[in-house]
Amino acid sequence: MTMGMERTWAFLNASFKDYYAKHALPPPMGFQQREFGFMYHNETFFRRHLGFPSPDLLKLDIVRKPPAHVYHSAAYYDHPSAHTMAEKGWVGADLIFDLDADHLEGADKMSYGEMLAAVKVKFVTLIDNFLGDELGYAEKDLHLVFSGSRGYHCHVRDSRVRQLSSPMRREVVDFVTGKVEVDEFVRDLTVEGKFGRPLRSTRIPGGTEGGWGGKLTRATVEHLRGIAADSRPATEKAKALSELTQIGPREAKALVEALEGSPDAVAKRIAAVSDGVADIHQGVGPGTFRHLFAYHLNRLKGWCDEPVSSDVKRLIRAPGSLHGKTGLRATPLTRDKLDDFDPLVEAVALGDELVKVSASPTAKPFTLKGQEFKPSPGPQTLPLYAAVFLILRRQALLEGDTPPAPPPLKPAPAATGGTA
């Protein structure tokens, strides 16, 4: 048995080198204006401030010394290989959205596959409901990528975003992530009623309006239609509505009552709400609609790694490269392919020749290419792609290698005066 992990590192380098020798990375738009950066297996040094005249020269560099991680800048520079930002000459930048399953609520209780499924739902919402529908970016300008590990990236290459400053990008992110106050959409007004008497009126945005105001009204109108069509007893509907939206029981009862009766009358009340006039029943007021809007805002808002999107000089993982923590490919996607895309099958890029590894006691079951692996501690034989995956997750070594010894314990500090 050899001591240390030398063979394991050599194996990873050889596996990545073989992949890069056979596959060229798809060059990003403005290739010669992009800064590139690499991190290597078993090295902490980050090699950056690199520019390449052609994709062929990038490939030669990567094959010569295969990186564990390959990045390129979201930004375009006059001199991408200059060593200071001032010397680089910033020209513009793509708008990047990064969704990482690690940040999902409850991610710590999900399996790897469950995390990837959940984050894809968030990604589809971002693409369809915000970047395409609300912000109007064309599909050809949305470059979608599975990151190769725990999430997805979207590179927005619409020419209109290229010159956006960091604060401007922050405004886009705030819109997508729903950083709005629902109070600004629900107004309690005094209006002139019959015979000139002042009346209180609840007004909301019309359903045809753009932005969050119209979006929340449309969602609320659909909600009201659902309540009206619900065949359960009124008491059950009111209780469910109160629990779902935090509307008080009395207000929930009044709202349900407003949605009962003749279909024509109910339809007129809902149509009034769609037009922005929310006076549909006594006991249903501004507070009711603030609760409804808050509920739908939380349900509909988008989600992303916010600092990434506002950063005009960010390095992002290069599409087509292997991820140094999984061995999976950062896979470019189209919107048509996204719904059916299975990263645990389609992002597997390495071969299936058999490799002998020694799994650690911490090794966990995983699934790749439709095959479930249940590694037990000690020697076993796995397909190359599974062996690399387990090694990069720090749960195995090449058979015969040994993990490094843990650092020595630091001596306990000398006792000093004071109380515990």
Nearest to 69 by CA among 304, 320, 270: 320
Handedness of CA 112, 113, 118, 122 (dihedral sign): positive
**Where along the chain do its domains lie?**
1-12+349-403, 24-177+303-345, 182-300
Instruction: Compute the chain's Rg from CA coordinates.
Output: 28
| Active-site residue identified among 94, 141, 174, 305 | 305
Q: CB-side exposure of 244: number of CA atoms within 13 Å? A: 15
Do residues 67 and 39 make contact, with C-beta atoms less than 8 angstroms apart?
A: yes
pLDDT for 195: 58
Is 279 a catalytic site residue? no
Q: Look at residue 354 and give its three-state secondary structure.
A: strand
Task: Provide the b/e sequence for 164-188 (b: ≥16 CB within 10 Å).
Answer: beeeebbebbebbbbebebeebbee
pLDDT for 4: 78
Q: CB-side exposure of 290: number of CA atoms within 13 Å? A: 12
Do residues 70 and 49 make contact, with C-beta atoms less than 8 angstroms apart?
A: no
Task: Provide the b/e sequence for 337-366 (b: ≥16 CB within 10 Å).
Answer: ebeebebbebbbbbeeeebebbbbeebeeb
Mean pLDDT by 10 residues, the chain (420 residues): 77 98 96 98 93 97 97 98 95 97 90 95 96 92 97 96 97 96 90 66 94 96 97 96 96 96 95 95 92 96 95 97 98 97 98 96 95 95 98 94 70 45
Is 305 a catalytic site residue? yes
What CATH number belongs to 24-177+303-345?
3.90.920.10
**Whole-prediction pTM:** 0.88
d(CA 123, CA 107): 16
| Token pair recorded at residue 369 | 């290419």
pLDDT for 3: 52
Based on the number of CB atoms within 10 Å of its own CB, is 245 exposed (0-12), middle (13-18) or buried (19 or more)? buried
pLDDT for 264: 96
Task: Provide the b/e sequence for 267-280 (b: ≥16 CB within 10 Å).
Answer: eebbeebbebbbbb
| Active-site residue identified among 98, 141, 230, 339 | 98
Q: What CATH class has 1-12+349-403?
A: alpha beta
Q: Distance from CA of residue 399 to its chain's centroid?
A: 36
| Active-site residue identified among 78, 94, 100, 108 | 100
Is 128 a catalytic site residue? no
